[in-house]
Amino acid sequence: MNLVFLGPPGAGKGTQAKRLSQELGLKHISTGDILREAVKNQTPLGKKAKEYMDRGELVPDDLIIALIEEVMPPEGGVIFDGFPRTIAQAKALDEMLSRKGMKVDKVILFDVPDEVVVERLSGRRVCPSCGAVYHVKFNPPKSDEICDKCGTKLIQREDDKEKVVRNRLEVYRKQTAPLIEYYEDKGILIRLDASKDIEEVYRELKRVVGA
C-alpha cells in the first residue's frame, strides 16, 4: 500500500505518519525531514535547498524528484509525507510507481483551518538531535523544553516563525492545493478532519485507510 499525506503546513501529517508507519510496517518518507537533515549536514542538496526552505518556498521539482527516486524502496509500501507538492511532482510519482507496477492507493487530505495551523506551528518544538516533534500545549515533553527520547534541548524550527508561516500557507494554496482536484479526479482522495485532537485523528485515520 502506498499512501500520500496531503495538507497545509502544521496539519499534523508528520505526527500521524510516524505513528501509522510504525504500526503498519510502512516506510515513512518525509521530504521535509530529509531536506532538514541535508541542510544540517551541509550536503550539496542541503546547500541548494536551504534558501528556499528559509523563505518558506518550495525546493525546485527536479531536486525533489531525484531525491524520491533515491529513497523509494523497490517494493513500495510507503507513506509519502509532504510529497508530492506540485502537479509536476505528482505526475513524476505516478510514472515512477507505474514503472514498478504500483500506484498511489489513497491520498489523505488533512483538513484544518488556518487559525489551527498558526496555533500548531507557533507552539511546535522539535528535537535537533533525534527529530522528535512536540507541542508546548497539545503534546508537551515530560520535562520542560527537553526531548523525552534523548534529553536534548528542544528548539523552534526557523520556518515556524510567523512571517514564514504566512508565506508557507500562501505557497500551499497556490502550488499544492491544486493536487486536491488532481487526486479527486482519480477517485482516491479521502478528506480527514484533522482539527480534532491527536488521538481522535489517529483513530479516524486508521479507519479510512482500513487498518
> Known catalytic residues?
13, 85, 124, 157, 168
- Smallest CA-to-CA distance from 58 within 83, 29, 91, 28 is with 83
**Subset of 149-188 contacting ligand AP5 (CB under 6 A):** 159, 168
We find the least distance from the C-beta atom of residue 79 to ligand AP5, in angstroms, to be 11
Alpha-carbon distance of 169 to 27, in angstroms, equals 27
Beta-bridge partner residues of 81: 5, 30
Element (H, E) at 6: strand 3-6
Q: Does 80 bind ligand AP5 (CB under 6 A)?
A: no
Q: Does 4 bind ligand AP5 (CB under 6 A)?
A: no
Answer whether 9's CB lies under 8 Å from 53's CB: no
Q: Give the strands of the sheet with 78-81, arranged side by side.
A: 27-30, 78-81, 3-6, 106-111, 189-193
Q: Does 83 bind ligand AP5 (CB under 6 A)?
A: yes
**Subset of 10-69 contacting ligand AP5 (CB under 6 A):** 10-15, 31-32, 35, 52-53, 56-59, 64
- Which of the ranges 8-16, 95-103, 147-155, 184-192 carries the binding residues for ligand AP5, by CB under 6 A? 8-16
We find the least distance from the C-beta atom of residue 35 to ligand AP5, in angstroms, to be 5
Q: CB neighbours of 48 closer than 8 A, spacing ≥ 6?
A: 59, 63
**Residue reference for cell 523563505:** 55
Site residues, ligand AP5 (CB under 6 A) = 7, 9-15, 31-32, 35, 52-53, 56-59, 64, 82-83, 85, 89, 120, 123-124, 133-135, 138-139, 159, 168, 197-198, 201
